[in-house]
Amino acid sequence: MAAAGQTAAAVFSATASASVNDLPYLDVIVSVNGGSLQAASATYSADSLQSGTAHPNVQKPVKLTAGSTYVFAAGVSTKSADSLNAGYCQGLVTISTTS
């Protein structure tokens, strides 16, 4: 969890690897002040299959509001139900401030 200071912004970088039967999508999802997780924007990253495994990557800026707390996560989905066989996600959040 991160607390925002004044004029702060975050950049969230995420990668995923999955054995899938479909096209995987990866997006940055954010919870603000303990709320539900929401997509950071209306766009996402997708990756085509190669040898039955996909590796989508995404990097997005997120404007932060001073005094709010944030939880960041990587969200992976597909168009078909139950098509992810196995996989993992990892992410890095970098928060910067300006004066």
Q: What is the predicted pLDDT for the residue at 78?
A: 73
How many folded domains does the chain comprise?
1
Confidence at 61, pLDDT banded by 50, 70, 90: confident
In angstroms, how far is CA 78 from the centroid of its own chain?
14
Question: What is the greatest pairwise CA distance in the chain?
Answer: 48
Helix (H), strand (E) at residue 91 = strand 84-97
| More confident position, 22 or 13 | 13
Average of per-residue pLDDT across 52-78: 82
For residue 44, give the CATH number of its domain.
2.60.120.40
Structure tokens, 37: 């997780």
Domain range enclosing 12:
2-97
Rounded CA separation 64/52 (Å): 37
Rounded CA separation 33/29 (Å): 14
18, 80 Cβ separation under 8 angstroms? no
Structure tokens, 2: 């991160």
- Does the predicted model carry a pTM greater than 0.75? no
| More confident position, 34 or 49 | 34
Q: What is the predicted pLDDT for the residue at 36?
A: 94
Instruction: Give the chain's radius of gyration (CA, Å).
Output: 15
